[in-house]
Structure 1
Amino acid sequence: MPALPLTRRSIFAQAWPIMLGQTTVPLVGLVDTAVIGRTGDAAALAGVALGTTIINFIFWSFGFLRMGMTGMTAQAAGAGDRAETDALLVRGLAVGLSFGAVLIALQLALIPIAFHLLAGGADVDASARPYVAARFLGAPASLAVFAINGWLLGLGRTRAALALQIVMNLVNAGLDILFVWHFHWGARGVGLGTACAEWTALLVGLALVAPHLHALKDRASLFDRAKIRRLFAVNADIMIRTVALLLMFGWFTNAGARMGATTLAAQQVLMQAVGIVAFVLDGFAFTAESRVGHAIGGGSRRDLTRAIRLTGEFCLATAAIACVLIALFGRVGIDLLVTDPGVRAQAAALLPFVMLLPLIGTPAWLLDGVFIGATAGRALRNAAILSTVAYIATDLALRPWGAVGIWIALTASYVYRAVALGAFLPGLLAKVAREPA
């Protein structure tokens, strides 16, 4: 496979489709909210919000299918092993479809547990349950698409990944409108629309990667025990890492709820900006995954350090721009999103934390990409656990500080994660062969 050039131009060319695709992710939630919100059914809207929280936690616990696939595919490609690159795709699809089928089979147990832990009241639960049940129908497709996306990103085929994202989002929006506004299926219609969009994306994704599915014929390579064992070892560590971070953000949401509706609402408004910045920076973090994986697969320490430096430059520049934009337009955005004076005042008071978060969070986001590309699952796992524990301890210690303490703890969590991952970086570099003289 041809090597990816390590230049600023090529880095940006690889990153911009990811950035564009990632910015469409919040738009899907916006469409879901608008479609159900226009019906005037507040319980249905709240049900979709609660149901989305549940589904995101369950489905993204399997996010390793995207992250682990990117790193392993990039390394195989960097080593010039085309057979293993194609075999990884088939293994990822098999694992995604299998785990998705297991989720469908276990939904009768998982859904009651989820609603016991996140009860939203009788009316809200009544709308959320059919939404969640409908979303479970798309579980195999959703997890298989994780694998396809990870494989495409590992090869640097970001435009194909963008096309897949756009198809899924357009189908989702169209079916939401059809099922909710025409058939009046409410929250269940939103869930069915998303599930159908996920199956559509899987079909399109299979069409995109069809030439590489010939690995199905080579059963000996597909079922190589050592390679399958490595696949599950790396992915198990990344799964633990993902769950730890999901728990951390769940704690953050609960901390806001503990302070009352005004604080929670202000927190939700501000997290929209944080989410958008994170999605944009993911363009360079995902690119780092691919470039680091290629460098490690090729055994080049020079390419590894250059990949980290170039993607780091873009991350820091983008974060600085984001800080300036939030400083200039943050108050305007708050006023556009909410009308309640109390929520506006609370959000404005906490806005400085959001202004600083892009720069403070950049090292953690970038290092995540570096270690995912290196398939250093143990480092990712340990760093996530340590930073989550440290975050919770900080939040508990700062409870007397109220909402300010909540945001100090969140900001500190990014520092904890960057420091923890940074401690593993010298060991990662030492494992890669030095460039020959």
Structure 2
Amino acid sequence: MVLVVLFFLVPVVVTGLIAFTNMSTATGITGGAYQVSPSALRVLTDQHGMGALAERLGQPTYTVDEQGLATLEEMGIEPGIVAGLRERHLGETYSSRREFERAIRALPERPATRTVKRISAAFSRSLANERFASAGALIAAAEAVEPDLDAAEKQALVEATYTGWTWTSENFRRLATSRDTERVFFNTLFFVATTLVLFNTGYAMVLAIATHYIPERAAGIFRIIWFLPRISPVVIYVLLWKWLAWDTGFLSALLSNFGVRPRNWMLDSATNAWVFVILINGFVGASMGMVIFASAIKAIPQSLFHAAAVDGAYRWQQIRHIILPHLKWPILFVTCYQTLSLLTSIDQTLLSTDGGPGGATEIWSLWIYHTALNNYAGNLQYGYGAAMALVLVVIGITLSLLYLRLFNYNALIIKPRIEH
């Protein structure tokens, strides 16, 4: 129970919680600050209808205060100029730099033009791109620019400028309305169904049955060789396939002898990409099913095969009436396990096509990776990716329950009836 809680329930719960946030690289995973950025001012204008306030906050203002005067003293500005500003303009606010510099030039000790520029810069109090540690500090700075802020404007300003993550259900609405959702969903459905039926279950069963009817030593060697891709490093395994498909690889070298132009067979079209993705994943998946089915066939009493042979049953009749009925529960396990495995499969597809060409082989798990862990834009969307992952968890649980119902799992775990 401890292992189940730590390695299954806790990650699922954490994923579920993150799915209801807007957490991303921009927000960070801890508490955020308050920044009057251009995007925040756009939010204030577009979503809250406070364009006039956003314009005033974004424009630079110049306030003569003790902080600015202290800065001038540190800069070595002549004491007479500092004293003149304190005496004539302390506490005054100017809406434009030109207006403030005009007031500076009107001082008794008229400073040089370059000095005027330095003085005005010391009193610039624009909120644009300013960062505040708390909402109180933000509101205090905003009131210095716009003293007549009401409660609604303060609340809107706090919400628009907050850079941390917040709780939201927007991820699921966005997922439901995104054009990419349908495309990736059907890509995933095609990938899982095709690979599962053709290879992970179908071809695995063919291999297991075929090796049952050859000598045991040869069958064991064949299964070991076929199992090698599963225990090999996935990078090396996929690189061998890419070497096969590259424009300088084996296929191009072979077909060039017949006048076929060299090309990257894996990525030159969506059809070819799907063929390679299914083959790469399928040959690995078939090895596991082969071993499980072969073990299940080995467990069938040999007397059944001997009796069938005496009765004149052909091999196809033995397969149909002896082997397949005994494979019901192994088929359930392989189908259920491999479905979940394919739903979360990412390594082979990532290394071979990375979802290409043009997103043609983008499957759900790879979409999650590109959204939350590695995308071209650089803004990793943890909350949105977690919402995708949560949907995948729900799909996996639903399919598992459906399989258990379809294969009548209760009959497997029923207590045996012992007659006395």
Q: Same fold (TM over 0.5)?
A: no
Q: TM-score, normalised by structure 1?
A: 0.24
Q: TM-score, normalised by structure 2?
A: 0.25
Which one has the bigger helix percentage? 1
